[in-house]
């Protein structure tokens, strides 16, 4: 029985255990600094030409999507012993905090990490007059 479980774990692709569905998730960090927000998304192995970055002002969110392509070819005679890497379209929608100045956002991509530096807007406090 233990031998069967070991073989099953070695030979069954992880995505098959998850129903063959790409979750579309990738790690994201959001850090608040005194004058800006920093969003970092781990997109290792994806060239910047395959990354689509949009800011939706109506929902005040950042949409990061990309296409992960297989980096090798397999013949019909080839057999994958283990396949844990996922490929296909991935996407995250990140709700921005209040005060984010989306119009002045700067995006960089280095060593597989997409970084968005989103400045903070000056928050105004308006005094209301009671009638």
Tens of pLDDT, residue by residue over 62-87, are 999 998 876 666 666 766 566 666 67
Whether residue 28 contacts residue 94, with contact meaning beta carbons closer than 8 Å, is answered with yes
Domain carrying residue 54: 22-74+83-119
Instruction: Using alpha carbons only, give the angle 127, 103, 118 rounded to the nearest 5 degrees.
Output: 85
Whether residue 95 contacts residue 118, with contact meaning beta carbons closer than 8 Å, is answered with no
**Most confident of the following: 4-13, 27-36, 65-74:** 27-36
Q: What is the pLDDT of residue 14?
A: 37
Give residue-wise pLDDT tens across range 104-129.
999 999 999 999 999 998 878 888 99
Residue 4 lies in a domain: no
Residue 30 lies in a domain: yes
Residue 33 has pLDDT above 70, yes or no: yes
Helix, strand, or coil (residue 12):
coil
Residue 28 lies in a domain: yes
Whether residue 105 contacts residue 55, with contact meaning beta carbons closer than 8 Å, is answered with yes
Q: How far apart, in Å, do the first and last CA atoms of the chain sit?
A: 80
pTM above 0.75, yes or no: no
């Amino acid at each position: 029985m233990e031998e069967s479980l070991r073989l099953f774990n070695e030979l069954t692709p992880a995505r098959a255990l998850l129903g063959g569905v790409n979750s579309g998730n990738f790690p994201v960090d959001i850090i608040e600094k005194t004058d800006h927000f920093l969003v970092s998304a781990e997109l290792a192995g994806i060239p910047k030409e395959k990354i689509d970055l949009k800011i939706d002002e109506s929902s005040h969110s950042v949409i990061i999507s990309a296409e992960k392509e297989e980096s090798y070819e397999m013949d019909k005679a080839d057999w994958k012993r283990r396949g844990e890497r996922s490929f296909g379209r991935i996407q995250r929608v990140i709700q921005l905090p209040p005060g984010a100045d989306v119009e002045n956002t700067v995006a960089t991509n280095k060593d597989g990490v997409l970084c968005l530096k989103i400045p903070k807007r000056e928050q105004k406090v308006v005094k209301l007059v009671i009638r």
